[in-house]
Amino acid sequence: MRSPSNSHLHLKSILSLRKSFMASSFTQTDFPQDLDDLLCSDPHTQPQDECSSLTKSNDSTLLLGSPSGYLSGESRIERAWAHWSKLGRPKLIVAPMVDNSELPFRLLCRKYGAEAAYTPMLHSRIFTENEKYRNMEFTTCQEDRPLFVQFCANDPDVLLEAARRVEPYCDYVDLNLGCPQRIARRGNYGAFLMDNLPLVKAIVEKVASNLQVPVSCKIRVFPNLQDTINYARMLEDAGCSLLAVHGRTRDEKDGKKFRANWSAISAVKNALRIPVLANGNIRHMEDVHNCLQETGVEGVLSAETLLENPALFAGFRTAQWTAGCEESSRDGNLDQADLLVDYLKLCEKYPVPWRMIRSHVHKLLGDWFKIHPHIREDFNAQSKLTFEFLYNMVEQLRELQVKIPLYIKDSPASAISSIG
């Protein structure tokens, strides 16, 4: 942990590192970014037995036994399924989101039905080199399981070193092979490793044969279905124990413009012997049910929809997704302001950078701000946020009688019960 006297040095280091490889999911130019990169609370106030950072990550005694590797053949496939079964075969999963799937948000989603979650993408090289980056960007706790820790990487040895640091704290080390952003092109990682499949194979083989924890991968599809199937089979043969498939190509970046290709995901599922997850088009529980039925996968991931509605997996939906439903919906006695308060309380317990909190406020209260833009303008004008200000902002919206409820179907159990 950093000391208060080193906070400014720590801040500049983290800000410089973050800007060197990450494009934030939310860009706001009206406030100084350096203040938003401060932790929202002093980490010294955290109970040490509740929240784990990687301060002691250089201590090899943290690792749980020696690497056992992944043998070829049926034994490796059986081990992949045994591990998935041991975790309870989670079906409802929080996808990795840069700056947005941090510990408090993961715990919020778990409170409302999520059964597993990914961390935000971590940069493997910076993770291995910089302790301050590790402690700022990765925290977890006992309730935060099953957990996928996701890295971007283009060097097998570097990824292995990073993976060994998180191995005691997670259930999968995940390789990001799906990021389609320009920053990934410049850094030669994510979906742009699709242009160098021998390197991808070498990376997966290296980590899979040297870790105790299984290796998972998250990919996008090729325009050609057979190329996608060949890609997935290569990953399985290299030692991948679980594959998440985003049903869009790397050029299809806009999820609202391009529908995910569930047929391609189904084809991958049918071609592989390891567990497969689906990502794309998950907006409410009917989508979850339909995706599981159409693809045959073991579970689904949701990202953008969860940012607006972290209670998605509990059967709640925004008004946008109630129109056209065959069954009527009713007020679920829950709204996004309630969820924001839940999230802020978790942030007080498990501190994160203010930039993450600011982003979630905009995602959760976007529709509310449209009704009262002066509240949004006041929020954006705050160069330094406080919990007192944020709680008061919610109260101010309540006093203005803003009400945008989340809805549930009159018989929500029908769709949810069929998933178990």
Kindly list the catalytic residues.
Answer: 179
56 and 364 in contact (C-beta within 8 Å)? no
Q: Of 187, 192, 178, 197, give the one whose Cα is nearest residue 19.
A: 187
Q: How far apart are CA 412 and CA 325, in angstroms?
A: 12
Q: Which residues is 215 bridged to in the sheet?
A: 173
Block residue for tokens 């980590």? 207
**DSSP class of 317:** B
Block residue for tokens 């301060």? 55
Q: Which two tokens stand for residue 87?
A: 């975790």
Sorted by sequence, the CB contacts under 8 Å of residue 354 that are 6+ apart come out as 35, 36, 37, 38, 39, 40, 384, 385
Question: Residue 380, Cβ neighbours under 10 Å: how many?
Answer: 15
Phi-psi region of 278 (alpha: psi -120 to 50; beta: other; left: phi over 0): beta
Question: Residue 333, Cβ neighbours under 10 Å: how many?
Answer: 10
User: What residue type is 166 in one-letter code?
Assistant: V
